[in-house]
Amino acid sequence: MNGLQFDYLNHITGGLDKNLVLEELMQAYGKEVWNFAYFLTRRAELADDVTQDVFVKVYERLYSFRGQSSVKTWLFAITRNTAKDALHSSWLRKVILLPVWRQREVHPSAEKEHLDRQVTEEIWSVVLSLPRKLREVLLLHTHHGLSLKEIAAVLQISEGTVKSRLHRARAAVNRQLGEGDS
C-alpha cells in the first residue's frame, strides 16, 4: 500500500470523519497488523484481540498522530506495544489457551505446490522458533519491508542494535536451515 494515500493524516483536523479514516486504515493495513501481531504472540486468537485493540487505540488517537513517522510505522509501534502488553498480562499467564485449528481450503495439490508449501512452512517454523527480539526485527525488515531506521523507531532501539539483531537472526535462520539439509 502506498503511504502517500495517508499523507492527509499529517494534516488531520477535527473535520474529518474518524470512522471513514479508520475504515480506510483497516482495509489498507489490517492484514499486516494482524500478521505482525501473530508473529509476536504466536497465537491466532491473541493476534485477533491485539489487532482489534490496535485499531481501537488508533481510533482514539487519530487526531493526535504527529506524522513523525509513516502511518505503517506508527501502526506497527502500536501493535508491538499492544502485543507486548497482552503477553505480559496476568490473565494470559494464568489461562492456558488451547490451539484452535482453522480449516484450510482444500485445493488440488500438484507436487510443486506441495514442495513449495513444505519449504515455506519449514522457513516459517525456523523464523517462529527464533527469540522474539530477533524474530521481530527479521519480520519487520524482510516481510514488511521496513527500513532499519523505521524498525529502530518501532522497537525504540538504535539502528546499530537493529543491524546487529538482523545479522544474528539471518545467521540463526541460515544455520538452522543448513542443519535440516544434513
Q: What is the pLDDT of residues 118-162, one digit of tens each?
A: 777 887 888 888 898 998 898 888 888 888 998 998 889 999 999
More confidently predicted of 97 and 16: 16
Q: What is the pLDDT of residues 160-175, one digit of tens each?
A: 999 999 999 999 988 8
Which sequence spans correspond to the domains of the chain? 1-102, 107-182
Strand, helix or coil for residue 181: helix
Helix, strand, coil percent values for the chain (each to nearest 5): 75, 0, 25
Q: Which fold has domain 1-102?
A: Rna Polymerase Sigma Factor; Chain: A (1.10.1740)
pTM: 0.54
For 107-182, CATH number out of 1.10.287.130, 1.10.1040.10, 1.10.10.10, 2.60.40.10 equals 1.10.10.10
Q: Rounded to an integer, what distance in angstroms lies between the CA atom of residue 123 and that of residue 47?
A: 20
3-state DSSP assignment of residue 95: coil
Largest CA distance in the chain: 62
pLDDT band at residue 180 using 50, 70 and 90 as cut-offs: low
Task: Yes or no: say if 62 and 72 are a contact pair by the CB < 8 Å rule.
Answer: no
